[in-house]
Amino acid sequence: MKPFLVIIISPPGGGKGTQADLLAEKFGLFHLETSKIIEERFKKADPSDLIIAREKENWLGGKLVNQAIVAGWLLGEIEKKAQAGIGIVLSGSPRSLEEVEAEMPRIEELYGRDNIRVIEIKLSEDESVKRNSHRRICKANRHPIPNFPEYRNITACPQDGSEIITRALDEPEIIKERYRVYLKETAPVLEHLIQHGYQIISVNGEQPIEKVFEDILGNFND
């Protein structure tokens, strides 16, 4: 029996990273975070590579990185996990029609269509800006620290104890731009997947973390 793969799609601040961590823990999946792959590639890039330098500048401004580049990076990581028999939960990909068209045929080959689940977490622009403004993550493993009252005063990551940091990408104006990019570039991915026979698990992201996860699990095996 093949392992399964989960795709989580949401606007910035929808909690896809948090829900991916919860699903990974419950089902023994590997959380493959697109933004982490992009950050690591940019850190290791040759400073003289003008193409990557331009893509990094776009990324820092809230725009999407070239989709062909991202698809190549991501598929390389997915293939490694599939060959090792490891299930995956993706948070942040596919991000555009170009990317979904490039990635899904290979993903279906590796995991099988029946073993792929697609989750949409819905969130308004106002809530996205509110949640993401000066959002914090842990330095060691990028675990998201939700912008909820119970997490407000903590200084170390509850999962690994590492330092909590604030990302430059999470300034309000950049978040608004990222939300606009989501509506234009990423939201159409959901319609594409529906047209190709996928059922979407849609949940309200403007609820407590535990309730969002409960709603996801309630539809997970339908």
Tens-digit pLDDT profile for residues 28-81: 999 998 778 777 777 777 777 777 777 777 666 766 677 777 888 889 999 999
CATH superfamily of 5-124+187-219: P-loop containing nucleotide triphosphate hydrolases (3.40.50.300)
Provide the residue ranges of all domains of the chain, joining segments of one domain with +: 5-124+187-219
Question: 156, 162 in Cβ contact below 8 A?
Answer: yes
Tens-digit pLDDT profile for residues 84-106: 999 999 987 898 898 899 899 99
3-state secondary structure of 56: helix
Question: 32, 74 in Cβ contact below 8 A?
Answer: yes
Distance CA 64, CA 92 (A): 11
Distance CA 159, CA 1 (A): 31
The reported pTM is: 0.76
CA neighbor of 121 nearest in space, from 50, 45, 25, 215: 215
What string of DSSP letters covers 129-188? Answer: HHHHTT-EEETTT--EE-SSGGGTT--B-TTT-PBEEE-GGGSHHHHHHHHHHIIIIIHH
Distance CA 213, CA 33 (A): 18
Tens-digit pLDDT profile for residues 59-73: 667 666 777 778 888
**Cβ neighbours for 21, distance < 8 A, ≥ 6 positions apart:** 31, 143, 144, 159
> What is the edge-to-edge ordering of all strands in the sheet holding 144-145?
144-145, 136-138, 164-166
